[in-house]
Amino acid sequence: MVEIAPFIEKLPKVELHLHIEGSLEPELMFSLAQRNKIKLPFKSVEEVRKAYDFSNLQDFLDIYYQGMGVLQTEQDFYDLTWAYLEKCAAQNVIHTEIFFDPQGHTGRGIKFETVLNGITRALDDGKKKFGISSGLIMCFLRHLSEEAAFKTLEQAIPYKSRIIGVGLDSSEKGHPPSKFARVFAKARTEGFLIVAHAGEEGPPEYVWEALDVLKVNRIDHGNRSLEDTALVARLVKEGMALTVCPLSNLKLCVVRDMRNHPLKKMLELGLKATVNSDDPAYFGGYMNDNYKAVAKALNLEKSHLLTLARNSVEASFLTDAEKSVLLQKVNAYGRS
Ligand code: ADE
Ligand code: ZN
């Protein structure tokens, strides 16, 4: 670990699975609550952190939706996104494709445009100030109805040029991808790229549905794919990327111990696995923390880390020309 940590820190990294609302640190939560005159059910930052003790995905989601209530104005969304980009700059993340959950905001009276404008203004500044490129992916909350998702898609269509893809998140069990088959069909005809959380807590069948019904370009998480050998063969054959989130998996009890994390096995099976931070403010760390935790627990070598970094570039929604620039950066680092 003595030498792997600095290797990870300087490795040029790409993030493909990050919920911007999940990067809301307790300190910013308190300062936005004060700015917007909102009363929080916590007395201190320490008390908030203590509450981040989850047994499953739903435990986390309950507190995550409550936390995002402090986000009210365009400037709030800007500040949230900017704080995340500062972490990226500090951790050598050179490209990031981030999720946002518009229904978590429009459902409490915040305008879609307020959310979108704040996030995209920060992303534009991130490119100018840090040279970090980015993409924005709009997620539908799967515990809500198909009709609500359709409404959200309609709101997004005028802003198509600023949103590269659509995804599916929130409570997985009981809400299969097929529930949103028609919404995703429409999103595809509008030109959005497609991702979906599948196989985090839900069964391998949900991953099949994400592939066959939603026609995804990437699978978010996908851990439970390993229970189905035919599914693994399909994912390998198609070079379908999995956006794996090690610290999230540990905090949400998808894995009981990091030493049992399936990441190394995924690589050995030929799956295009990537490392990501999911909701870093809630799960105990950003990109470097995720890489380090899993590298330490699974004794990953530099070659594994370079493969993970290359996988993320290849699985990104950048153009081939842009990918080749980033791949050269990773390869040059590997040779240095
Ligand atoms: N929303 C934010 N983080 C999520 C996760 N890990 N799974 C499903 N929905 C989410
Ligand atoms: Zn996620």
Mean of pLDDT over the chain: 98
**Residue 2 predicted with pLDDT over 50:** no
Q: What is the pLDDT of residue 242?
A: 99
Across the range 247-260, mean pLDDT stands at: 98
Ligand with minimal distance to 218 CA: 2
Model confidence pLDDT, tens digit, residues 31-82: 999 999 999 999 999 999 999 999 999 999 999 999 999 999 999 999 999 9
**Whose C-alpha lies nearest to ligand 1, atom 8?**
170
Ligand 1 center to residue 333 CA distance, Å?
32
Query: Is 205 labeled as catalytic in the residue annotation?
Result: no
In the chain, % of residues over pLDDT 90: 99
Ligand 2 center to residue 332 CA distance, Å?
30
Q: What is the pLDDT of residue 316?
A: 99
**Residue 116 predicted with pLDDT over 90:** yes
Model confidence pLDDT, tens digit, residues 218-239: 999 999 999 999 999 999 999 9
Q: What is the pTM of this model?
A: 0.98
197 within ligand 1 shell (Cβ under 6 A) = yes
22 within ligand 1 shell (Cβ under 6 A) = yes
Q: Which spans in the chain are helix H?
A: 4-10, 26-35, 45-51, 57-67, 74-90, 103-106, 112-130, 146-156, 181-189, 204-209, 229-238, 246-251, 263-268, 280-283, 287-298, 302-315, 320-335
Which domains does the chain show, CATH number per domain?
4-335 (3.20.20.140)
Tokens of 271: 């799956």
Tokens of 97: 């494709």
